[in-house]
Amino acid sequence: MNRLAAETSPYLRQHADNPVDWYPWGDEAFAQARERDRPILLSVGYSSCHWCHVMAHESFEDADVAAEMNRLFVNVKVDREERPDVDAIYMQAVQAMTGRGGWPMTVFLAPDGRPFYGGTYYPKEDRQGMPGFMRVMHAIDEAWGSQRDDLLDAAERLRDAIERTTAIGGETGTEPTAEILQEAVTNARGQFDPRFGGFGRAPKFPQAMTLDFLTRQYVRAPSSELLETITVSLDAMAAGGLYDQVGGGFHRYSVDDYWLVPHFEKMLYDEALLAGAYLRGFLITGEPRYKRVVEETVDYVLRDLATADGRAFCSAEDADSEGIEGKFYLWSLDEIETICGDDAPEVIRFFGVTQNGNFIDPHTQYSGNILHAVDRTEMRPAAVKRAIPKLLAVRAQRVRPGLDDKVLLAWNALFLRSLAEAASALERDDWMEIARANGRFLLSELRREDGRLLRSWQGGRANLLAYAEDYAALLEALVTLAEVDDVAWLAEARTVADELIRLFRDEERGGFFTTGSDAEALIVRPKDVQDNATPSENSLAANGLLRLAALTGDTRYEEIAGGWIRGMAPLLGEHPTAFAYLLGALERMVTPPLEVAVVGPLGDPATNALWREVTSRVLPSAVVLRAAPGEGAEHSPLLADRPLADGKPTAYVCEHYACKMPITDPAKLKEELNGFWRQKTPL
């Protein structure tokens, strides 16, 4: 057994019995490399990564390969989800060297941590134009012995190039304008696939943040083109194999243009972002099929990803089960006929089930049907509704994909925000109670006694200093809880924001570094800029700080966020899918702010009627609050001097804290909110 058995990461523990003499990332590994004068072989992956498992089976579990690894290198295993800082630095290096990236990532480092060669997956032996892992290792060893100076020179140039990426942005730039938003809409529409939905070609990732941006623009300036982009994409993703038609929730991405065949891993962050996108799709269209997707996705997370006490959520489920990709999710025609009985013909028609199936695992040749709705907009017929619980019950008896049971602060915060928003909009008090419990869990179990947040929790043990992403995602979640649950959450939000600024702010160039000022020194101090599968730390921070400024009146938060947005503004319109979440912060700077406060006895039907008008719609760039009379002013000036009008629950619709006449009639509040943007200059 190597050194990984006691780690909090399930991914690292998966490799604890390898014959490879693995080290976790840390001083011990680098000291050993210096002592032996050998390079470090850094292997980065994550537990639900299919090709990570393939390379593990082919190479890391092979005694001959492991012997060469141990002889030639000091071997370090990293879970990219626990250590996004390490992953980001060396992924930039691999992309610079090879023009592409991905996982598993394999990088060779000098004993001081500088990378000099790298790639992604390597087969054990040469195959299909790919060099074999054994051959690569022997070539690296030969070069280390005979061309070391050249390798180290290249490593230093590569380190300098990575460090230059942290200079992106800065306090100087372009003053944000509404024209940037329109440019972003045009360019996002230009990438739209009108036939199959989504953006770009295969492999297709669900662009939830881009859809959210377009949804907000549709509310401001409705158009048939925008509505088509949103609804065709939502319908296509929810109808395909990307969506788990039986158990709810989304797989990570589609390998084809039409969303049929997914990579089968399920990630908590995808469920968080897509639940939010479908919620907003439901709010602008009223389509019940979008509401169903929200409910099923949330139910999937609460059922299958929740920790034992239900207060937090695990990171991911694997793509494989029983060594076969997707086996857990595949169905044969005979199974459907047996399980569904008289309903089988309708189920077979609706989900496109055939004798031969539509998926074959390339490694094992195991085949079956990925269920998908043939007609993307057809409502599920009664036979299908009756069949789903039966299929789910049968599937529950199968061997489940592996569960990565570590709790990550940032990903939990992303889901917490969507859960709270959905609980409020759909009036699910049970979901709101779970959201509250999750918020309390994150603030207690992932926060040290000195207040420092931590990244990862597993089995009662928290580990690793939290990153800017964790702080900023938690800030967003706490602001949302303050808006839709209890304004008192703002106190914790301010604490998190102040610590984010203290520990991570780049005082010279603006924005936030990935790692805190109290973290270990890496070869560079990374800064995450682009929105990828998840929002970047800087996009989360900019949005969270602007929302916090609007709710508290503290302009310091607005100034810090504004500096970053001005520095990035020239890029946003041109590359909307790369900065989709940051576009939300730019919106808040260039469009009229909307502030809504509902004051009335909590639980009063008249208060609830006003509040439903606020939460049952998409309100771009808005902040909202609800409180009992005379409460909450210590947290937000939006609640100061807000009496009941004529003794009735009252809504205040404001802009820069200047409020219109108080409203007590829900119908008049609806009219006011519907007309807010029509009174402004359209984009």
Task: Read off the CATH number of the domain in which 427 is found.
Answer: 1.50.10.10
- Cα distance between residue 666 and residue 427, in whole Å: 17
The pLDDT assigned to 249 comes to: 98
CA terminus-to-terminus distance, the chain: 62
- Cα distance between residue 678 and residue 669, in whole Å: 15
Q: DSSP letter at 558?
A: H
Q: Do 208 and 302 lie in a common domain?
A: yes
Q: Is the dihedral of CA 553, 557, 563, 569 positive or negative?
A: negative
Q: Do 258 and 368 lie in a common domain?
A: no
467: in domain = yes
Low-confidence ranges of the chain (pLDDT < 50): 681-683
Q: Do 351 and 221 lie in a common domain?
A: no
The pLDDT assigned to 656 comes to: 83
- CA dist 389 → 292, 340, 548 (Å): 15, 10, 43
Q: For residue 477, what are the contacts with CB-CB under 8 A and spacing of at least 6?
A: 413, 414, 416, 417, 420, 439, 442
- CB hemisphere CA count around 569 (13 angstroms): 24
243 with 254: CB under 8 angstroms? no
102: in domain = yes
The pLDDT assigned to 526 comes to: 94
173: in domain = no
Q: Do 138 and 230 lie in a common domain?
A: no
The pLDDT assigned to 681 comes to: 46
- For residue 105, what are the β-bridge partners? 44
The pLDDT assigned to 49 comes to: 87
461 with 8: CB under 8 angstroms? yes
- Cα distance between residue 463 and residue 300, in whole Å: 27
- For residue 321, what are the β-bridge partners? 324
660: in domain = yes
Q: Do 605 and 558 lie in a common domain?
A: no
The pLDDT assigned to 171 comes to: 56
- CATH label of the domain that carries residue 61: 3.40.30.10
Q: Do 297 and 335 lie in a common domain?
A: no
Other beta carbons within 10 angstroms of residue 121's beta carbon come to 20
Q: How many residues does the chain have?
A: 683
Q: DSSP letter at 80?
A: T
Q: Do 241 and 104 lie in a common domain?
A: no
Q: Which of 366, 339, 368, 343 is nearest to 353 (CA)?
A: 368
377: in domain = yes
543 with 560: CB under 8 angstroms? no
Q: Do 87 and 161 lie in a common domain?
A: yes
342: in domain = yes
Q: Do 62 and 73 lie in a common domain?
A: yes
Q: For residue 382, what are the contacts with CB-CB under 8 A and spacing of at least 6?
A: none
Domain containing 199 equals: 178-319+404-590
Angle at the Cα of 292 from the Cα atoms of 533 and 401, rounded to 5 degrees: 55
- For residue 44, what are the β-bridge partners? 78, 105
Final residue in a domain of this structure, among 572, 590, 608? 590
The pLDDT assigned to 397 comes to: 97
Final residue in a domain of this structure, among 400, 419, 445? 400
Q: Do 27 and 162 lie in a common domain?
A: yes
Angle at the Cα of 262 from the Cα atoms of 261 and 268, rounded to 5 degrees: 160
Q: Do 230 and 294 lie in a common domain?
A: yes
551 with 490: CB under 8 angstroms? yes
Q: Do 478 and 515 lie in a common domain?
A: yes
Beta strands in 579-621 (DSSP E): 594-599
Q: For residue 268, what are the contacts with CB-CB under 8 A and spacing of at least 6?
A: 301, 305, 313, 314, 315, 316, 408, 411, 412, 414, 415
Q: For residue 587, what are the contacts with CB-CB under 8 A and spacing of at least 6?
A: 181, 216, 620, 621
- Cα distance between residue 474 and residue 497, in whole Å: 9
1: in domain = no
Final residue in a domain of this structure, among 590, 618, 634? 590
Domain count, the chain: 4
420: in domain = yes
